Chain A
Amino acid sequence: MTRYVVTFDTPDFAVLQDEAPELLSSEGISTERYYPRLGIGIVDSDADELQTFSARCRDRNRPVTFTPELTYYAIEEPSQFTDTDQLTWGLQAIGIDRARDAGHTGAGVRVAVLDTGVNLDHPDFTSRGITAESFIEGEGPHDAHGHGTHCIGTACGPWETDAGPGYGVAPEAEIFAGKVLGDDGTGSDSSILAGIDWALQHDCQVISMSLGADVREVHPPYVAAGRRALELGSLIVAAAGNNAQRSAGNFGFVGAPANSPHIMAVAAVDSALRTAEFSARSLPHEGGEVDLAAPGVDIHSAWTGGERYRSISGTSMATPHVAGIAALTSGATGARGQELWDALIASTTALEGEPSEDVGAGLTVIPELAEPRAS
Chain B
Amino acid sequence: MPEQKREWVVTLDDNYLDRIDQIVAELERAGLRVERVLATIGQVTGCTTVAEPTQGSIEDPCRERMTVITGVLSVDAVRQFSAPSPDSDVQ
Contact = CB atoms under 8 A, between A and B. Distances in A.
Nearest to A180: B81
Contact of B81 (A145, A201, A213): A213
Given A197-B41, A201-B40, A228-B42, A221 B11 contact: yes
Could you tell me the dominant secondary structure of chain B's interface residues?
strand
A200 B42 CA distance: 12
B36 interface: yes
A193 B81 contact: no
Contact of A116 (B36, B83, B90): B83
Contacts of A197: 36, 38-41, 43
B2 interface: no
Nearest to A312: B91
B45 interface: yes
B41 A200 contact: yes
Contact of A314 (B36, B80, B81, B91): B91
Interface residues of A, number: 43
Top 7 nearest A-B pairs (CB, nearest first) are: A314-B91, A197-B38, A190-B45, A200-B40, A147-B83, A221-B9, A189-B78
14 contacts: A115-B83, A185-B82, A189-B81, A190-B78, A193-B36, A194-B38, A197-B39, A211-B81, A212-B82, A220-B76, A221-B74, A224-B73, A225-B43, A242-B84
Interface of A: 115-116, 145-148, 150, 181, 185-190, 192-194, 196-197, 200-201, 210-213, 215, 219-221, 224-225, 228-229, 232, 242, 256-257, 278, 312-314, 316-317
Interface of B: 7, 9, 11, 35-36, 38-43, 45, 73-74, 76, 78-86, 89-91
Given A147-B84, A185-B84, A313-B91, 13 more contacts: A147-B83, A181-B81, A181-B82, A189-B45, A190-B7, A190-B9, A193-B41, A197-B39, A201-B40, A212-B82, A219-B76, A242-B91, A256-B79
